Structure 1
Amino acid sequence: HIHNHFVINSVSFKDGKKYHDCNETYALLRHTSDSLCQEYGLSVVDKKTMKKGKVNYDNYYKGYVKRNNYHTMAQKDIDRAIAMAYSYKDFENILIKMGYLVNVRYGKLSIRREPFKKNIRIERAFGNNYSIENISKRIETEFAPRVPFIEALNPNKAIKSYKKAKHEKAHGIYGLYKYYCYVLKVYPRYHPKKILSPALRLEVERMNEISKQTRLLVSNKIETHEQLLLYRENVKTEIQELSSKREYLWRKFKRTQNEDEKKSIRYEIDNITKMLAPKREEVALCDGIEKRANTVQENIKEFEEEKGKERLKNEF
């Protein structure tokens, strides 16, 4: 019978850590196996019946996905807080305003955010770059403009400023309308603190990604799959040319002894680096568009097949 095997290194070649198996990783292997079977047209048991006393690995996989998204969003929030902070204490305050519970024990920083129950030890989860010492160093070197974001809103301050503001009293029909709106509690008495859940924030990110893809298609007048592939190849060619030019400049920079000439070369290198970033993003967007288009086509095909089957049933 057709089956598969997973070959796993017992020790990671990246960090030298030993592999530890658990129900969660086994659930991930099962899900990966199902995905491979579906990809190659093999049968998959959709609903796995569980005998009494057996482990339900579907629940473990759901937990893995939930934790994985939680970790991803937490790391992004930490990076954002580091770039916006003026000091380590300010960094902790920003995390607290973003809705995280911050805890330091034995020189290790842990954070947690509702509705999740488990703390994230950020140095263990994300590497040595997230130790307290290295975070303090990153705060000194990384910078991002401090912009207000929805998690940092302080509802008490907002209410106080609203109460202090002087408004002209409404009269006549409009005043009567305002009065009944107040009596019927149309206007909220309190302004609750709005915190986006990690799942919702992921959906917002996906929506932003789709918006970028749409703008790319519209701005470059891409209407067919062939045009998309051609555009991507052209961008890749530009990236290769710019990368080659930058490598040449780096070699020239190392050979040059003149400081003024070095500054000029470094300026050119920095400009090329700035030009490469958006082009690489465009390639990634093209890849995402192609993948999404294939998925949409498959969904349409499945829908049409199901519709055809229903039509045949109705005819007979």
Structure 2
Amino acid sequence: MAVTKIWAIKDSLSRVVDYAANPNKTIFSDLQKVIHYAENESKTADENEKICYVTGVNCNAKTAFNEMISVQKKYNKCTGNVAYHAYQSFKTGEVTPEQCHRIGVELAKKMWGIDHQVLVATHFNTGTYHNHFVINSVNMWNGRKFDCNKKAYYKFRALSDELCEKEGLTVIKNPKGKTPRSMYFAEKNGEPTKYNLMRLAIDYAVSISYSPTEFVRVLKKQGYIVNLNPDLKYATIRSVNDKRNTRLYRLGKEYDREHIFRRMKENDVWEVSANYNAFIKTTKQKYIQPKKYFFNGSFAKTQKITGLKALYLYYCYRLGYLPKKKSHKPLSPEMYEAIRKLERYSQQITLICKERLNTLDDVNVFISMSTEQIKMLNNERKHIYNRLRRCTDEDTKVELISKRNDYTEVIRHIRRDVKTAKSIIEDNPKIMQNIRAEQSLQHQRFAVKHKQKVRYYDYYR
């Protein structure tokens, strides 16, 4: 299995060539950062990294930089993308250093042929062999620059996979797209993200199912629709309230169609049947008459909670956050995923109560007024900055610095409130959607027959 990547170098050709020949240096796209990093001994690259092999394709490995520069000067193309840097990384323990380097050199020849000069270096870092490619952007024969578009990258990856198959190495058949940083760390920490919740639901469904029919039914009770049709190229899963499907292989190798079937066949029939029947029975409930309470007073004189405050209180109840003494778990995957944002919702409801924001229009007015206030405070702070530049008296300077810091602190708090207010407007449609999804799944899962239709949104609108 080999992972590939390629990107442009604009600042220095010598730096990237030196890196390929000297693993004590670190690759960055900005020369200033490289110098700063190299001078800081406490932030050196992996000192254990060692070069295994260095080979020049259409150039000599020892004089690669001079040869590449000569070609660029010949065609007067020494600016812009001076080079391209690519890498090919193999699975730990799958290749030998000789095999890794041989594949890298062959890949360079197939990709850039006799038109471009390429330096191929094989490194060993943390137990993983990988190849670095430094490609001269200028063609040796006609002076044309290499067009590193998506088509070129896909060709680079396809050639790498072809060579891996030829060598009997594993190949990633369904490469994943780029995962957002926040989502990556949330999944790594086991937080209830969209994919993590799908994995948990599938694992539970597999543990109490013996046939695909039972598996689909258990997932439906958990709020997911799965399509295991063998006639389709990919099996998919989605929330009952979602319109977009997710291919099962994106959740991991053990969650594709074949692995799910294999895991179900390994289950004990009698044990699985008992657990399956218990799950199906416990998810059915009859309508329970609510308890009656006597209130000493008049509801007519009681102030009703309305607007955004009522919406957030009801949302916290649906999330299982309120009431504290009798907490419950939400049913829909959307609500489970929203639990990760409790801190964000807490900041929003705090601002709503503090500023008495009843509707979204009130929120927009608050944002406009706060923005104007920030501009005014910035002008006053700027005036203090100007006085500080001209001030020579030390006591006056201390007083001005104190005033400047006070203005900065006030501006910081207002900006934070504006950011929270904007998040209220941004999250409002999603909150309403999540509430509808939770109510829909509750009626579907528990089969509750209400005598009277309850409209929860009358006091939100």
Superposed pair shares fold, TM > 0.5 = no
Specify the TM-score bucket, using the shorter chain as the normaliser: 0.3 to 0.5
Q: Normalized per residue, which structure has more helix?
A: 1
Structure label with greater radius of gyration: 2
